[in-house]
Amino acid sequence: MSEILLFHHAQGLTSGVVAFADALRKAGHTVHTPDLYGGQTFDTLDDGIAHAKKVGFGKLAQSGVDAAQNLPSALVYAGFSLGVSPAQQLAQTRPGATGALLFHGCLPVSEFGASWPSAVPVQVHAMEHDPFFEEDAEAAHALVQDASEGELFLYPGDQHLFTDRSLPAYDEAATSLLMRRVLAFLHNLS
């Protein structure tokens, strides 16, 4: 079973993010869900993004990186949208990463180094017409080509945070398929 460090999206550590982590726990995985917002959640994505801007994206990403300090090095790093930044940075730069799961976002590999680490398998998941992901699509395609084990999964639709059951964007069918793919990915790491 895997140990996972899972970072929330711009609306905070919502009950939907916790439910996603609980589904992974139910499958036997250990999941850490640091709260980069100190307990705050936001009803809309715009409000969450405004909060992230106020705090500073760099500061939030650094808080995510700091959250890994007291955890083992053999981790799967995962993040939803805003949480992709610390997850991807840790997967690329912290020795011992066993995998990466990037949901609803992807940054250029060059943000954190010259290339993706060859020993770190990665999956990227997003909806094909998500307007937020459109700006990340090129980076996602490049990352999965750069990785020795990389997969990009695009789901029908245009919702951004479709995996969070506490939000209106939730898509049960797409999330169910995504979860099956994630669990298979984690099983293959064992």
- The percent helix, strand, coil of the chain (3-state, each to 5) is 45, 15, 40
- What does pLDDT average to over the chain? 96
pLDDT at 113: 83
**7: enclosing H helix or E strand:** strand 3-7
Percent of the chain with pLDDT over 90: 95
pLDDT of residue 133 exceeding 80, the answer is: yes
* Whether the predicted pLDDT of 14 surpasses 90: yes
Q: Give pLDDT tens digits for 58-79.
A: 999 999 999 999 999 999 999 9
Alpha-carbon gap, residue 63 to 35, rounded angstroms: 9
Query: What pLDDT, on the 0 to 100 scale, is given for residue 21?
Result: 98
**For residue 22, what are the contacts with CB-CB under 8 A and spacing of at least 6?**
31
In contact, 138 and 112? CB cutoff 8 Å = no
Place of tokens 């980069």: 36
pLDDT at 129: 97
Q: Residue 190 — pLDDT band, cuts 50, 70, 90? A: confident
Cβ(80)–Cβ(163) below 8 Å: yes
pLDDT value of residue 179: 98
Q: d(Cα 119, Cα 74) in Å, to the nearest integer?
A: 12
The pLDDT of residue 111 is 93
Q: How confident is the model over 74-132, as pLDDT tens digits?
A: 999 999 999 999 999 999 999 999 999 999 999 999 999 878 998 999 999 999 999 99
Which pLDDT tens digit goes with each residue over 32-58?
999 999 999 999 999 999 999 999 999
Going by C-beta distance under 8 Å and a sequence separation of 6 or more, which residues neighbour residue 124?
Answer: 102, 106, 140, 143, 144, 150, 151, 152, 153
Domains of the chain in sequence order = 3-189 (3.40.50.1820)
The span from the CA of 129 to the CA of 57, in Å, is 25
